[in-house]
């Protein structure tokens, strides 16, 4: 695909789905258990949830990282959906 090739609606939906980031607040133990369960599933040939996840152990950590300004920028990027391009 070249820079000028438009994305088909199915490709656009897949790109949107694959670019979803889940943000959670969980204990370190719960996060460890989730990762261990996913690895065990993969080892046995089962599929595992592959949604990218950013997990914080407290709301304070989340809010110090994802400040209102950062969230505003993320929302602007999501809303504007900048065209994907590759550089040679």
| pLDDT tens figures, 30-88 | 989 988 998 998 899 888 767 778 889 999 999 899 899 988 887 787 777 655 443 44
Both tokens assigned to 30:
């719960």
pLDDT at 74: 78
With b for 16 or more beta-carbon neighbours within 10 A and e for fewer, the 19-32 pattern comes to eeeeeeeeeeeeee
pLDDT at 88: 42
* Cα distance between residue 81 and residue 78, in whole Å: 5
* Cβ(7)–Cβ(15) below 8 Å: yes
């Amino acid at each position: 695909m070249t820079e000028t090739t438009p994305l088909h609606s199915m490709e656009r939906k897949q790109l949107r789905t694959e670019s979803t980031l889940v943000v959670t607040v969980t204990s370190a133990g719960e996060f460890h258990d989730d990762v261990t369960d996913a690895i065990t599933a993969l080892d046995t040939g089962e599929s595992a949830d592959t949604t990218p996840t950013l997990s914080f152990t407290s709301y304070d950590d989340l809010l110090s990282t994802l400040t209102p300004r950062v969230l505003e920028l993320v929302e602007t990027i999501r809303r504007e959906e900048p065209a994907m391009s590759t550089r040679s």
